[in-house]
Structure 1
Amino acid sequence: MSDHQNQNSSQNEQLSDILLVLDKEKMKIQAVKSLDENGQMETVDPTKKNQNQFLRIDKHGNFLSNFFSNFYNQLKNPTNFSFFKVPDVIAIEKAKELQKHFETPKSKKHNEVFQYEILPEAFQHNHLNKNNMETENTEYRFNPEQIDWETMNSLGLSKERLEKINQLEPLLKGYKTNQLIPVSINFGSALLRTDVRLSLQQAENGTIVPALHGIRKEPNLKYDFFGHKFTDEDKKNLLETGNMGRVVDLINTKTGEKIPSIISVDKLTNELIALKTEFMKIPDEIKGIQLNEEQKQILNDGKSLYLEGMTSTKGTEFSAHLQYNADKRYVEFLFDRNLDNKLSQDSPSQNAKKETFKAPTIFRGKELTSEQYNEYKEGKTVYIDGLVDKKGQPYQGYITFNKETGNTQFTFPSQNKKNAQPAEEHKTQVAVNSEGKTNESTKHLKKPLESKQQTPKTKQTKNSVENPPKSVKSKGRKM
């Protein structure tokens, strides 16, 4: 190869990124090679030998956003994977670092490694202003050193605890936690314990402080929301589906600018969330069905679209209502409405006999994925991870929904040996904690293994026992 060709090759590499992928079941890092027409991803080991097979993508903003949005939406079982974009010239090195991190999650390079992560929702959102109005961001928005940890610790939210329940990363990237977190607020003469979704915001003095999104009994639809007065139809839609179902002009309270937006309800807290329409990303294809321009426009207008003939991850055909959700920042399935339509097609006498309860989409503060919900609402036993107890400790187990009583039965892994098996990453943990089994590394273990932990920790980390909540000092701001 000539010097001129070498120079061109080098320039192309500098302008390209490699897409690395983590298979969450196997906990293995691979390089993406291609995506076939059935949504199956081809990968290769991230080695020099395979370097010429790596899928290369232009690293410039718009192209990457469009490419990854289409790639992710066409991918079969997208939630089973995490993606990282790294420069071509350091792809192999970074792949090794990522693999090492996931084998030993307490790696000192935790934040450095995750600066390369791609969050699908990062391409699909932008809120209006501060509390309900955030800015689009694919990299870290905050640095851990900027955070007011004194205030955080007074709420029982230490850095170690947030890392343990996998909620520090989304906070540093400017997002709300994807689950409810128990907090304690000490008023001196009284102690308040409650569950909240958490986000970070910048105070006037430049420090980064926690914003607590508490649980409301119901969405506040009595008063104007950024200049919009809710109609009876708006209220009905928000309460029934969580989405208002149309685009309205909201007013930026600082500039007076009118901003076309959609409105949804945060299903975990009942907080109203607004999203600019310019940041809505409608996929070209959903579950094997190619959307036409008319269907895309329906979704862009915030309306509900009924789509037939979709193919689930298990290969079965299904139909459902779809709608864009401002809080989740993607097109969601309206499973409850789909159930309503099914019941409404039955005769009145059949309805009286077949009265059943709707399965909730949230269990103990954790929202179920579409795959989990599909099985859960049918009464099947579903494995659920990422639950947090009142002491802030993560736990997992199995849930089964009873359609006749509306109750959900929860069992720990040790209680459910016959009906379900734990995921691969939990098998060692369950065997040691629940079944009394040991191996060379765990036979002297005194404390139970944590979620996904395979071997005992060699050293006790500092601050492993959190201090009791201290009184929150007034700093002249409301929370």
Structure 2
Amino acid sequence: MSEQTIETPQQYPEQLSDILLVMDKEKKKIQAVTGIDENGNLKTVDADKKNQSQFMRVDKSGDIFSNFFSNFWRQLKDPTHFSFFKVPAGEAEETAKALQQQVDAPTKEGEAVIAKHEVKEPKEQQQQQENKKGMETTQAKPETSEYRYKPEQIDWETMNNIGLSKERLEKVGVLDSLLRGYKTNTLIPISINLGSAVTRMDARLSLQPGENGNVVVAIHGVRQKPNLNIAFFGHEFTKEDKDSLLKSGNMGRVVELTNPKTGEKIPSIISIDRLTNEVIALRQEWIKIPDEIKGVKLNDEQKQTLREGKPLYLDGLDLKNTQDKSAYVQFNADRMYVEFLFGDRAPKQVQGNEPLRTFRGKEFSDEQYQKLTEGKTIYVTDFKDGKGQPYKGYVTLNAETGKFAFDFKNPDNLKNKVQPAEASKTQVAVNSDGKTNEATKNIKEPLKSEQQTPKDQKQQQQQKPKVPAKSKGIKR
């Protein structure tokens, strides 16, 4: 008889693994992931029992899964085109149906299912950063999901003296993020007893490498306001720098900072920690820009604008709970991702008091830009809709807000009943907005430029309603 006297339930592979489900944001269909091909394209099958043997299985362990998903994300050609969900292997088919139902007919109950299983892209799990000695005390650094420190490396006796016992850090839910190398995402009340005086404060915390393999806790106390009147690693803040930092929290440009120990010049962007008013820098080389923001695909020039720390105006955003579909976005050095600038944080005008030159993914030529700034209407023939098809329309500029406006009709000549751009209205409504009309509702392909009716015999056949076959009856 075996020395093992306590029996444990047998665990099958399905109990030890999870299934990765995916939703193509364009097709709005939930499927199971089977892998990635050599070109970085996602391979999927329907999430039903007959395809179970093809499902990609991933280890349930949190750390192992985090590492797997980070690598998986990097290998994928267009990861932002998809939403991913992790579900137990035995529940894959049932959960896939629930997710699909939520996609087709959203409900509050379905939102909970989405939230429970959705896997966020790795960069959203890495919004905090560590601080190091010297310059790195304010130089943010990207982190991975792996643990950087071990609990036994921490001097818990010293931590207890400032009211930060291991039990308390676990209770408030920050110990795990600290061990991974992140700053706490909330302020923690602490007390420092100096014998003759006791200091109490709210602060963000982070761990830093110390001597002899130990780690020390860094206390990022709350400041009354950012100190912008002294040089920041060799950079003297200009009036424009200060105005931008105090208004939006981001400086809006790349500057060279000097490492005081090595003399290295480091191109960086600068932001303000909104919880503590600490000045935070991020190396430009660590800036990662997504391919798409709320349904708007970014071109190379737009990505470069964000890499340079500048604000970028985007139109046609898929924003919920608001009728406004446009906003400014900017990369934040402290949060380490592209954030939205709303209200007073949003610039009315950018760079030299001139409006941005890009609208709906289209960069205006010098001639077009000049006309817009003079208050004139321009006619643009090469906008691209959601399916990549060109369309036409009229653009004007609101001088007060610095925002562009679009119309299929010429606002300068509203008396004309038919304008050239009207032909694009149906095309854009179908391809970009998902709407239908009677003349094209059964056509399977994207509408071509200015298409309003079936273009050929094949599409005419698609439009014809299917007539049920007549019963031949029973021969007697």
Report the TM-score when normalising by structure 2: 0.52
The CA deviation at 1:34 is: 2.3
Determine if contact 2:188/2:204 at 8 Å carries over to the other structure: yes
Which residue of the partner structure matches residue 74 of structure 2?
66
Which residue of the partner structure matches residue 355 of structure 1?
none
Which residue of the partner structure matches residue 161 of structure 1?
168
The CA deviation at 1:118 is: 4.9
Which residue of the partner structure matches residue 193 of structure 1?
200
Determine if contact 1:32/1:41 at 8 Å carries over to the other structure: no
Amino acid at match of 1:163: E
Which residue of the partner structure matches residue 435 of structure 1?
none
List alignment gaps of at least 5 residues for structure 2: 1-15, 33-46, 59-64, 93-120, 350-476
Amino acid at match of 1:34: V
Determine if contact 1:184/1:192 at 8 Å carries over to the other structure: yes
Amino acid at match of 2:273: D
State the secondary structure of the residue aligned to 1:32.
strand
2-structure distance, mates of 1:60, 1:243: 33
> For residues 181 and 317 of structure 1, do their structure 2 counterparts lie closer, same or farther at Cα, with a shift above 3 Å needed?
same
Write the deviation string for residues 190-247 of structure 1: whole angstroms up to 9, x where unpaired: 2221100000112224321210000011111111111111111001100111000000
Of residues 34, 39, 42 in structure 1, which corresponds to 2:22?
34
Count of residue correspondences: 284
> For residues 179 and 269 of structure 1, do their structure 2 counterparts lie closer, same or farther at Cα, with a shift above 3 Å needed?
same
List alignment gaps of at least 5 residues for structure 1: 1-19, 21-28, 85-90, 96-116, 343-479
> For residues 340 and 297 of structure 1, do their structure 2 counterparts lie closer, same or farther at Cα, with a shift above 3 Å needed?
closer
The CA deviation at 1:136 is: 3.6
The CA deviation at 1:38 is: 3.8
Is residue 247 of structure 1 aligned with residue 235 of structure 2? Answer: no
Which residue of the partner structure matches residue 276 of structure 1?
283
The CA deviation at 1:286 is: 0.2
Determine if contact 1:31/1:43 at 8 Å carries over to the other structure: no
The CA deviation at 1:59 is: 7.6
State the secondary structure of the residue aligned to 1:295.
helix
Determine if contact 1:69/1:123 at 8 Å carries over to the other structure: no
Of residues 116, 120, 130 in structure 1, which corresponds to 2:124?
120
Is residue 141 of structure 1 aligned with residue 145 of structure 2? Answer: no
User: Following superposition of structure 1 onto structure 2, how do residues 381-400 of structure 1 map, counting pairs within 5 Å?
Assistant: none
Determine if contact 1:35/1:41 at 8 Å carries over to the other structure: yes
Which residue of the partner structure matches residue 217 of structure 1?
224
The CA deviation at 1:135 is: 4.5
Which residue of the partner structure matches residue 272 of structure 2?
265
State the secondary structure of the residue aligned to 1:237.
helix
> For residues 241 and 70 of structure 1, do their structure 2 counterparts lie closer, same or farther at Cα, with a shift above 3 Å needed?
farther
Which residue of the partner structure matches residue 203 of structure 1?
210
The CA deviation at 1:33 is: 2.4
Determine if contact 1:263/1:274 at 8 Å carries over to the other structure: yes
Determine if contact 2:131/2:206 at 8 Å carries over to the other structure: no
Larger Rg: 2
State the secondary structure of the residue aligned to 1:278.
helix
User: How many percent identity over aligned positions?
Assistant: 49
Of residues 208, 225, 234 in structure 2, which corresponds to 1:227?
234
> For residues 130 and 165 of structure 1, do their structure 2 counterparts lie closer, same or farther at Cα, with a shift above 3 Å needed?
same
State the secondary structure of the residue aligned to 1:310.
coil
2-structure distance, mates of 1:41, 1:213: 45
The CA deviation at 1:119 is: 5.7
State the secondary structure of the residue aligned to 1:311.
coil
Amino acid at match of 1:172: L
Amino acid at match of 1:52: Q
Determine if contact 1:249/1:258 at 8 Å carries over to the other structure: yes
2-structure distance, mates of 1:303, 1:339: 12
Determine if contact 1:199/1:211 at 8 Å carries over to the other structure: yes
The CA deviation at 1:337 is: 3.6
> For residues 315 and 74 of structure 1, do their structure 2 counterparts lie closer, same or farther at Cα, with a shift above 3 Å needed?
farther
Determine if contact 1:127/1:274 at 8 Å carries over to the other structure: no
> For residues 174 and 206 of structure 1, do their structure 2 counterparts lie closer, same or farther at Cα, with a shift above 3 Å needed?
same
Amino acid at match of 1:31: I
Amino acid at match of 2:124: P
2-structure distance, mates of 1:217, 1:119: 30
2-structure distance, mates of 1:283, 1:300: 11
Which residue of the partner structure matches residue 137 of structure 2?
131
The CA deviation at 1:55 is: 7.6
Amino acid at match of 2:138: N
Write the deviation string for residues 387-426 of structure 1: whole angstroms up to 9, x where unpaired: xxxxxxxxxxxxxxxxxxxxxxxxxxxxxxxxxxxxxxxx
Which residue of the partner structure matches residue 236 of structure 1?
243
The CA deviation at 1:176 is: 0.3
State the secondary structure of the residue aligned to 2:301.
helix
Is residue 309 of structure 1 aligned with residue 316 of structure 2? Answer: yes
User: Following superposition of structure 1 onto structure 2, how do residues 346-357 of structure 1 map, counting pairs within 5 Å?
Assistant: none
Amino acid at match of 1:201: Q
User: Following superposition of structure 1 onto structure 2, how do residues 93-112 of structure 1 map, counting pairs within 5 Å?
Assistant: none
2-structure distance, mates of 1:263, 1:228: 11
